[in-house]
Structure 1
Amino acid sequence: MGSTSGPGTLARWMRRLTASNDQLLADERQLAAEKAGATPVQQCQDRALVSVSGTITALTVPPKDVVRVEADLDDGSGQVKLIWMGRREIRGITAGTALRATGRMSCCGTSRVIYNPSYEIINTPN
């Protein structure tokens, strides 16, 4: 008969007991992005058309003379900055919003950016 426990089960259980809250949150975000069929941010290549999924961790609206909205999206494997040029706000997108974004990845060193991505809001914070 099959068993629900095995060598991997104990290791996962021990990991959950010893991991930090930040690591557990990153694991949850990675699992959600994987289920959504998105490419992990850390695996995205420069100039590739990608679809990423994660949670907005920060939203920045620059001064009035700069017309753009910037959002940091974290999928647990890494972060990508989403920049919408020519907009001052995007309704429904706040810190804590889960969304899927699609666009051309731009990599410069360790920084990743997608300009004017198309997006789908998956879930909004309460």
Structure 2
Amino acid sequence: MTAGRGEGYWRRLVRRFTSDDEQLDADELSRRAEESGCRKASECCSGERAAVLGRLRSVALHPSTATPTLEAELFDGTEGVTLIWLGRRRIPGIEPGRHLRAWGRISERDGHKVLYNPYYELQTSG
């Protein structure tokens, strides 16, 4: 084992014992997204096409007189991206805690990153 690899191992081990569960979870989500080839949400800019991978934190229906929308917050360990499906009240499999990969063109709404009508793939959580 080289000194660099050993140092990385010990650094990760110390971090695992000194970090809180929320930070460890965020690190794992970020690592998984990076390994999948997806972009980190924190690195995505408005107007570019991007694929993000993470866990749905929340899902909410916003009914309106004109067009209902289903909105979900996807968190990848670095930042959240709001997924918005226009004209949808429910999508099977889109529920809090579910892992998914979503892609499309990044937009901004009220200073937050948004994907409108994104393409998506449901993922296994393991």
TM-score normalised to structure 1 length:
0.89
What secondary structure sits across from 1:38 in the alignment? coil
Partners of 2:111 and 2:26 in 1: CA distance: 18
Instruction: Determine what percentage of the aligned residue pairs are the same residue.
Output: 37
Q: Considering only aligned residues, what root-mean-square deviation do their CA atoms show, in Å?
A: 2.0
Unaligned runs of 5+ in 2: none
Deviation at 1:7, TM superposition (A): 1.7
- Residues 44-76 of structure 1: CA distance to partner in whole angstroms, max 9, x if unpaired? 011000000100010011135341100000000
Aligned residues: 124
Other-structure match for 2:43: 43
Other-structure match for 1:112: 113
Partners of 2:69 and 2:53 in 1: CA distance: 21
Partners of 2:111 and 2:11 in 1: CA distance: 31
Deviation at 1:123, TM superposition (A): 2.4
Partners of 1:109 and 1:20 in 2: CA distance: 30
What secondary structure sits across from 1:6 in the alignment? helix
Other-structure match for 1:100: 101
Other-structure match for 1:72: 73
Other-structure match for 2:59: 59
Specify whether residues 21 and 107 from structure 1 end up closer, same or farther in structure 2 by C-alpha distance, changes over 3 A only.
same
TM-score normalised to structure 2 length:
0.89
Specify whether residues 47 and 9 from structure 1 end up closer, same or farther in structure 2 by C-alpha distance, changes over 3 A only.
same
What secondary structure sits across from 2:93 in the alignment? coil
Contact 1:92 1:124 in 2 (8 A): no
Unaligned runs of 5+ in 1: none
Structure 1 residue runs of 4 or more that deviate by more than 4 Å after TM superposition: none
